[in-house]
Amino acid sequence: SVFIVREPQPREYIPEDAASIAVTESDKWVEVRAADGSGPVIQFGDRIIVQSRTASEMDGIVKTVGLPIASWHAPNLVVLQAPDAKSALTEASRLAAMQEVVVAHPVIRGRLRRTGPLASWPNDPYFYRQWHLENRDTNGIRQGVDLNVRAAWPFSKGAGVTVAIGDDGVDLGHPELAARTAAGPHYNFYLRIASGGPSYSGASHGTANAGLVAASLGNMAGGSGVAPLANLSSLVIFYSDYGVVDSQGMADMFQYRLDVIGVHSHSWSTYYDAQIPPYLNSPSVVEQNAQSNAFSLGRGGRGLVMVQSAGNYRAYDADANDDGYVSDPRKIAVGAVRADGRAASYSTPGACVLVAAPSGELDNSWPSIFTTDRRGSAGYNASSQTIGGPDYVQDSTLYTGTSASTPQIAGLAALLVSANTNLTYRDVQQIFVLSSRIWDRADNTLQTNGAGLEVSHRVGFGVPDAALAVNMARIWPNRPPLATFRFTNSVTLTIPEENGSVEVNGSNLPPALASLRCLPAARGPRADKPTASLPLVDIGLATNRPSLNLTGKAALIQRGSNTFSEKIQFAAAAGAAFAIVFNNIDATALLHMDTPDTSPIPAVFIGQNDGEGLRAFLLTNSSATARLLSGAAAVAFDVPASVLCEHVGVRLQTTAPRRGQLRFTLESPAGTVSVLQHASSDNSAGPSDWTYYSVQHFYENSQGTWWLRLGDDYAGDAGQLTRAELIIMGVPITDANHNSLDDFWELSQIGTLNSSASDDTDGDGYSNLIEFILNTPPNAPVTQFQVDYANFNLGTVRLGWPGLNNRTYQILGSENPALPFSVITNVMGRFPETEWHFGKTNGRFFYRVRVVQ
């Protein structure tokens, strides 16, 4: 049955459960839903709010109904008491039909709070395909990496921020983009006209990127962008598949309309493997000038936020540091991860890569990104047979790469600067540093730096969590101004060739075995700084995983029968810290083992005579130890300044004739190693004058000795270093105990100088480093324990609460809060928010969340 009440507009309600309308006298509430289906389920009580047209009419109304007055609010406004909720609804409906009654409805109460910090399930029909935004199954169970945007949207959707797509133009009239592109500005720097549409028939890239930034949310079409309320600006710089505007046009683009544009998304990198300034893979002087203008004048002096792809050339041994557009320390260099969080096979690594975002692979072996495509037969997808039809694309053979990960980070940047307009471009970088997460524990470039932060050359600090990032942005205090310190070393030295040796120790060791010539494996981890001296164990050919536990040991392996890569993997699987492989022919000949860059541990190759000699020695002496020495030339920089590092640069001038043979690394006083330059196919000379940048030392204290190591993996074409400069960028800090926390802050806030940056003194999940940067108390939890109730989707409810890793939470339930609660399940904690999902059921149920340990 339908009941019509007046609120004062007439509105029809239907009881949720037909049976529950047959209430007993004790039932004071009845659940109803609007007959048109709008709004949530609400509860009507056993009292009726009545408002009459005039005060004089109230008396007659009350007498007609015959119910006592529960409370009197005004001469024409009373609350009447009915015997039960059912009668109240019936009487309210009768009153609402009376001419002299303006308002008549039962008192209302909501049920449980329906909106936790999770935006409602979007009505966009393909949101469920956007695993990169929210990677859950229909029951809310996490399936892999995502940006966690729905937990950020209640706080920011990017409103008020204009994100420029520097690309081949955008289908401005696409229904998902039209509202976002309406304000502009748009400009084609090739044609020199105010036009942002696709610049040629094959121009599909910009439209796909634009949709990832700001496709409309809640328009019952397609999916959503990361920042669905951001505005889009199309800055056209490509006019054919490989044609880009000239350097003057690029300069104009970088500094275009800084009064409006706040974020740049650049899904391009240069595709030359050499270091060729200017313009081919590093900005010309006019572009440098324009970029500097953007970072100093953009966003009212806070600086444009510029996001750029790391590139798609990992398979060619490329490095993002060889692209001066990407490695600029004021930009955000973005890598790509596939759905399980592992770096994509194409994502160009580099010490300058700050973060990563989800993308597809080169085939459809992993799910790819769902985004907008040029309408109809134009664009990547002409087919109406695909998911979403021809106006969308989700096929990694059509659209993938760091091109797809970059606009998602630009969208996140828009969420941040919308949530807090005071953020500088450096603040945005640092929020990403502190809110990102490493997903792939097997990343062999992963290290924990001196500030306790996990960082990798493939994915930087990992994939940002949008909710954590936005919540940090809301309370983020601006970082102090940037200071830059330069240290020059003008020493001239020859870069050692075929560097590296194995140092062996043991009693009665033949002198000829004490130091063995070796060659490093072609790819994979390297002993850039000396390894520990570890017991050496002969594991034969290593055609299978040894049953020995090699933890804390080194493996000696003979060439033959299976691949080098397999041998090294088997040794690593048994726990070996590094592998020494010896030749089975040719006495003293050496080679570079052709290993993939995913090889798990450092490995070197030694000659047959040396290997057989070692094997014979190990048969009679079990106490031999070995360590790997790189043999690179080392240049020391003694840095007296105590600076909390941000980006660290190394400018190098050499006379080396073949850059692709060289390997340069930088070790900080804390022991963190940045690989600046590694072997590649570049046969050109250099670096003649190049500056490499690293984010690996973020928040480390700069004070102490930095080691620049220079080596040449291949014989021939020796070169010389002629000048080296270390560039420390950051904020000076008083930090005598070198733990990245200001000593005065530590003493006043924690009371001791004994904690570390990664400690969490108050156990709220936020490290002392984060608390120092955020200026929150490290000895009082930032968050209060509070359970949020939200609809995950139509059928599933989500309970969420501030959670910690390595902690267990117990869910308890009861039909009656006065009766004992029973345990439903245990949930493993996850920082910053832990969740539990359950299917919606009828009726009432009460839940508790308890910390078990």
Rounded least distance, CB 247 to Ca ion, Å: 32
Determine the Cα–Cα distance for residues 605 and 612; give it in Å rounded to an integer: 13
Residue 210 three-state SS:
helix
**Cβ of residue 66: shortest distance to Ca ion, in angstroms?**
53
Figure out which of the listed residues 57, 503, 743, 788 binds Ca ion, where binding follows CB under 5 A. 743
- Closer to Ca ion by Cβ: residue 365 or 754: 754
User: Cβ of residue 42: shortest distance to Ca ion, in angstroms?
Assistant: 29
Quick note: the x/- pattern for Ca ion over 329-368, rule CB under 5 A, is: ----------------------------------------
Nearer to Ca ion, 437 or 592 (CB): 437
Number of residues that bind Ca ion (CB under 5 A): 19
Please give the C-alpha separations between residue 43 and each of 13, 94, 111, 587, in angstroms, as whole numbers: 11, 19, 7, 88
Using the minimum distance from each CB to Ca ion, give the nearer residue, 217 or 502: 217
Looking at the DSSP assignment, which residues form a beta bridge with residue 664?
Answer: 677, 710
For the residues of 791-831, what is the DSSP string, one character each?
Answer: ESSSSEEEEEEE--TT-EEEEEEESSTTSPPEEEEEEE--S
Residue 264, strand partner residues: 164, 306
Count CB-CB contacts under 10 A for residue 76.
Answer: 18
Angle at 394 between CA 391 and CA 395, to 5 degrees: 120
For Ca ion, the binding residue among 81, 219, 505, 783 (CB under 5 A) is 219
Q: Closer to Ca ion at the Cβ: 372 or 424?
A: 372
Closest C-alpha to 443, from 430, 432, 428, 456: 456
Which region, judged by CB under 5 A, interacts with Ca ion, from 152-160, 380-388, 463-471, 548-556?
380-388
Q: How far is CA 710 from CA 440, 500, 744, in A?
A: 29, 12, 39
Query: Which one among 64, 248, 737, 805 touches Ca ion, defined by CB under 5 A?
Result: 737
Each residue 9-48 as x (binds Ca ion by CB under 5 A) or -, in order, gives ----------------------------------------
d(CA 201, CA 193): 18
Phi, psi of 578 (to 5 degrees): -155, 165
Residue 395 CB, nearest distance to Ca ion (Å)? 11
Among 45, 206, 390, 607, binds Ca ion (CB under 5 A): 390
Among the listed residues 270, 286, 362, the one whose alpha carbon sits nearest the alpha carbon of residue 321: 270
CB 60 within 8 A of CB 42: no
Beta strands in 602-642 (DSSP E): 603-606, 625-629, 633-639
Residue 381 interacting with Ca ion (CB under 5 A) = yes
E strand residue ranges, 515-590: 515-517, 519-520, 534-538, 554-558, 578-582
Our finding on whether 124 is near Ca ion (CB under 5 A) is yes
Nearest distance, CB of residue 390 and Ca ion, angstroms: 4
Shortest distance in whole angstroms from residue 778 CB to Ca ion: 5
The whole-angstrom separation of Cα 820 and Cα 311 is 58
DSSP state, residue 507: T
Whichever of 576 and 643 has its CB closer to Ca ion, that residue is 643
The strand pairing partners of 701, in sequence order, are: 644
Q: Which is nearer to Ca ion, 198 or 500 (CB)?
A: 198
Point out which span in 377-385, 634-642, 664-672, 838-846 binds Ca ion (CB under 5 A): 377-385
Q: How many Cβ atoms are within 10 Å of 314's Cβ, its own excluded?
A: 23
Residue bearing tokens 């240049």:
635
b (16+ CB within 10 A) / e for 337-352: bbbebbbbbbbbbbbb
Q: Return d(Cα 851, Cα 234) in angstroms, integer.
A: 50
Tell me the residue nearest to Ca ion as measured from the CB. 379
Stretch in the footprint of Ca ion (CB under 5 A) among 118-126, 166-174, 713-721, 841-849: 118-126
Residues 763-792 that bind Ca ion (CB under 5 A): 764, 766
How many angstroms from the chain centroid is the CA of residue 762?
26
Q: What are the residue ranges of helices labelled H in 366-513? A: 402-419, 425-435, 466-475
Minimum distance, C-beta of residue 462 to Ca ion, in the bound complex (Å) = 20
Residue 20 DSSP code: G
User: In the bound complex, what is the minimum distance in angstroms from residue 806's beta carbon to Ca ion?
Assistant: 14
Taking CB under 5 A as the criterion, the residue among 84, 146, 646, 735 binding Ca ion is 735
Name residues whose C-beta falls within 8 Å of residue 751's C-beta, 6 or more positions apart in sequence: 779
Of 221, 333, 410, 581, the residue at the interface with Ca ion (CB under 5 A) is: 221
Q: Is the dihedral of CA 203, 205, 210, 212 positive or negative?
A: positive
Token digits of residue 80: 């009447």
Binding residues among 456-495 for Ca ion as defined by CB under 5 A: none
Q: Is residue 222 at the binding interface for Ca ion, with CB under 5 A as the rule?
A: yes
Three-state secondary-structure class, residue 509: coil
Of 39-47, 138-146, 326-334, 379-387, the window that binds Ca ion (rule: CB under 5 A) is 379-387
Q: Which is nearer to Ca ion, 46 or 735 (CB)?
A: 735
Separation of alpha carbons 566 and 13, rounded Å: 69
Q: Closest approach of Cβ 375 to Ca ion, in Å? A: 6
Verify binding: residue 576, Ca ion, rule CB under 5 A: no
Q: Which is nearer to Ca ion, 168 or 322 (CB)?
A: 168
Cβ atoms of 378 and 198 within 8 Å: the answer is yes
Per CB under 5 A, 760 contacts Ca ion:
yes
Nearest to Ca ion of 246, 743 (CB atom): 743
Q: Counting contacts by CB under 5 A, is residue 701 touching Ca ion?
A: no
Q: Does an H or E element contain 156, and which?
A: none
Binding test (CB under 5 A) with Ca ion, winner from 503, 612, 762, 788:
762
Judge whether 365 and 129 are in contact, CB under 8 Å.
no
Min. distance of Cβ 105 from Ca ion in angstroms?
36
Candidates 76, 216, 231, 630: give the one binding Ca ion (CB under 5 A).
216
Using the contact rule CB under 5 A, the part of the chain among 189-197, 318-326, 372-380, 626-634 near Ca ion is: 372-380
Please identify, using beta-carbon distances, which residue of 239 and 772 lies nearer to Ca ion.
Answer: 772
Among the residue ranges 9-17, 215-223, 581-589, 620-628, the one whose residues contact Ca ion (CB under 5 A): 215-223
d(CA 659, CA 157): 45
Supply the minimum distance, in Å, between the C-beta of residue 27 and Ca ion.
43
SS3 at position 120 = coil
Structure tokens at 620: 């009679």
**650 close to 671: Cβ distance less than 8 angstroms:** no
Site string for Ca ion, 70-109 (x = CB under 5 A): ----------------------------------------
Given 691, 739, 755, 796, the residue binding Ca ion (CB under 5 A): 739
Nearer to Ca ion, 383 or 551 (CB): 383
Residue among 752 and 853 whose Cβ is closer to Ca ion: 752
Residue 30: strand pairing partners: 44
Smallest separation, CB 774 to Ca ion (Å): 10
Cβ 665 to Ca ion shortest distance, Å:
27
543 binds Ca ion (CB under 5 A): no
420 CB neighbour count, 10 Å cutoff = 18
Q: Which is nearer to Ca ion, 384 or 816 (CB)?
A: 384
| Residue 379 interacts with Ca ion (CB under 5 A): yes or no | yes
Name the segment binding Ca ion (CB under 5 A); options: 30-38, 41-49, 376-384, 812-820. 376-384
Does the footprint of Ca ion cover residue 682 (CB under 5 A)?
no
Distance of closest approach, residue 689 Cβ to Ca ion, in angstroms: 37
Are 497 and 716 in contact, with CB atoms under 8 Å apart? yes
Q: Which residues bind Ca ion (CB under 5 A)?
A: 124, 216, 219, 221-222, 373-374, 379, 381, 390, 735, 737, 739, 741, 743, 760, 762, 764, 766
